[in-house]
Amino acid sequence: MLAKVKDSEVYSLFEFTLELAEKHLHVLRDIFKAEKLDLPIGFTDKGVNLDAPPLFTDTFWLVYIHEMTMHGLAGYSISLSVSAHKDIRDHYYQCNIDAMDLYNKSIEILIWKLEIFILT
Q: By CB neighbour count within 10 A (0-12 exposed, 13-18 middle, 19+ buried), where does 69 fall?
A: buried
Residues 10-51: tens digit of each pLDDT: 999 999 999 999 999 999 999 999 999 999 888 788 888 888
Instruction: Look up the pTM and report it.
Output: 0.88
Q: Domain spans of the chain?
A: 8-39+57-119
Q: Report the mean per-residue pLDDT for the chain.
A: 93
Closest C-alpha to 73, from 29, 36, 34, 20: 20
Q: Residue 32 and residue 14: Cα distance in Å, rounded?
A: 26
Contact 92, 83 (CB under 8 A): yes
* Residue 120: per-residue pLDDT: 66
* Residue 45: per-residue pLDDT: 80
